[in-house]
Structures are given as structure tokens and as C-alpha cells.
């Protein structure tokens, strides 16, 4: 007579419980990853705006920061739309809602660092939070405000 080896019902239930527990922990973390990516893109946008102004000063050459609301992206050009420096499309849930005070959706930083005109744009996160990025015409300073 040979002994057949098999798993008991208790062993199978314990394994299923462990798998369920691991999945319960792992699935919500995907939302956390999207939130982290969204925050990284938010910070990258801020850095790119400041970088555009800084490069205009350092290189003594105008830089353009162009927002495309339809494609939910922005582009940075050097000297009158001829040299594309960077193009970024939001992928994590950030959304450009509107621009304010700029009819062309373009801010041009002069070699002195001042923008061609004052302007602002509104950005919305996946959770509904809205932020207004405002560029001061006299100094080129970037202010970010939370909109209620």
C-alpha cells in the first residue's frame, strides 16, 4: 500500500488567505504610485518654468514656454520657436485647465529674465485640487497658489 501525499484543506485555506492579504496590500499601492508620479510631474513643471527663465538670463537669449491646452502638454523653445529644448506631456493625471492673462498661451522670458507679459495658468490634479501658477511681469517670479 502506497501513501498518497496531498495538501489538507487547512493548508490550502492558509495559502489562499496569505495570497489575499498580499493582494490587499499591493493593489492600493498602485494608487500611491500614480500620486507620486503626479507630484513628480508637478515639481518638474515648476523646475522647467524656472529653468526657462534662468537659461534666458545665462545665455542672453529669449526662451519661450508654450502651453498646449488641447494636448495637455508644454514645450520650451529657444529663440522664437526655432529650437525645441523640451516637450512634456502629462501622463499621470495632471491637466491644464486654462490660461489667464495670456492670449497666446506663450510666455517669453527675455534675456533680462522678465517675461513678455504677466500670465498664469491653472493646473488640476486627479484628486480635484487646483493650482494657479502665476508669473509676475516685473520680476519673472513664479508664484503657485492653491485654488479652493
Per DSSP, the residues of 42-57 read HHHHHHHHHHHHHHHH
pLDDT of residue 106: 87
Residue 104 reports pLDDT greater than 80: no
28-147 folds as: minor pseudopilin epsh fold (3.55.40)
CA–CA separation, 46 and 109 (whole Å): 15
Helix (H, G, I), strand (E, B) or coil at 122: strand
Residue extents of the structural domains in the chain: 28-147
Confidence of residue 123 (pLDDT cuts 50, 70, 90): very high
Element (H, E) at 66: strand 63-68
Residue pLDDT, tens place only, 15-74: 999 999 988 877 666 677 888 899 999 999 999 999 999 999 999 999 999 999 899 999
Helix (H, G, I), strand (E, B) or coil at 135: strand
pTM above 0.85, yes or no: no
Residues 6+ apart with CB under 8 A from 24: none
Confidence of residue 102 (pLDDT cuts 50, 70, 90): low
Residue 75 reports pLDDT greater than 70: yes
Of 68, 49, 71, the closest CA to residue 115 belongs to: 49
Residue 116 reports pLDDT greater than 70: yes
Helix (H, G, I), strand (E, B) or coil at 27: helix
Confidence of residue 79 (pLDDT cuts 50, 70, 90): confident
Amino acid at each position: 500500500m502506497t501513501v498518497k501525499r496531498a495538501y489538507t484543506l487547512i493548508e490550502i485555506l492558509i495559502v489562499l488567505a496569505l495570497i489575499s492579504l498580499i493582494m490587499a496590500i499591493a493593489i492600493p499601492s498602485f494608487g500611491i504610485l500614480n500620486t507620486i508620479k503626479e507630484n513628480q510631474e508637478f515639481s518638474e513643471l515648476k523646475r522647467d518654468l524656472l529653468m526657462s527663465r534662468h537659461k534666458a538670463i545665462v545665455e542672453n537669449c529669449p526662451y519661450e514656454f508654450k502651453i498646449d491646452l488641447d494636448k495637455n502638454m508644454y514645450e520650451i523653445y529657444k529663440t522664437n520657436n526655432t529650437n525645441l529644448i523640451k516637450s512634456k506631456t502629462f501622463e499621470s493625471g495632471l491637466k491644464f485647465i486654462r490660461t489667464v492673462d495670456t492670449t497666446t498661451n506663450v510666455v517669453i522670458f527675455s534675456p533680462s529674465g522678465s517675461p513678455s507679459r504677466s500670465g498664469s495658468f491653472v493646473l488640476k490634479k486627479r484628486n480635484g485640487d487646483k493650482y494657479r501658477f502665476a508669473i509676475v511681469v516685473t520680476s519673472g517670479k513664479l508664484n503657485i497658489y492653491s485654488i479652493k
